[in-house]
Structure 1
């Protein structure tokens, strides 16, 4: 599951800001503004981008800092309007709604991934084959299928389901009547 830069910023600010007094939130807003400007300038610079210790996409980095700056500003405005002395993520209704939405998307992604893995495991146990039957046996197969109201493929699938492999490796099928 891939989160947007806004999702990552909201999650980071929610975790980092918990219990943070309004003065420290204001400092975080200022620091995010500086980082946003710096990454945007680096992105606009005509020369090669210096990567530093951590190699990352400069556009992604600029986007991330812009999102964090916006989120820190939102939290600061919320605290100022509500008169909070410290940031409490559980009282932040917008932040809590976004967090619940992210958690729901994560659960959906995990469930979908789990279902894909299960389908793969089941598919690994299946055998698909293309069978070419000569004219004589093919006519007999079509007749048996027609009498049973099945397709020749369905009769072959029933036949394969009744295969018995002996200890000596001999493959056989007990006589049976194809049925729906």
Structure 2
């Protein structure tokens, strides 16, 4: 429900001209409703009930379900993973900040696993490539690599008839 409000899906920007914060933007595709076809068996059952064979959802909801399932099923095993890691190095705990609690870092064992998963998930399924992001990465290349990329891109565009020689 909150995906339909720009306040929740747009980054906040400060406008010096208006001396206020603005959150107007064109929402990312994951915050725009999309129509999905139901699997055949569900579509047939839905047709029997007189319902549509499609469902309209925000893609954000599907991503939230995936992240929730992972965090509830696999997340708790982060503590076991960290314990195994500590045993391999013969370390009793990661610190002594809270006496009797095995160290402050031990409070966050499952968070390491979750943070890694969320990062991989976002980079794999959510993150979009834009010309600005690509250009940012090109600037990190050495000058000779930038020239090589330019020539390869030019050859590709000419071969596909997009650019004239």
Structure with higher RCO (Cα < 8 A, 6+ apart): 1
- 1 or 2, which has the higher strand percentage? 2
TM-score (norm 2): 0.25
Q: TM-score, normalised by structure 1?
A: 0.24
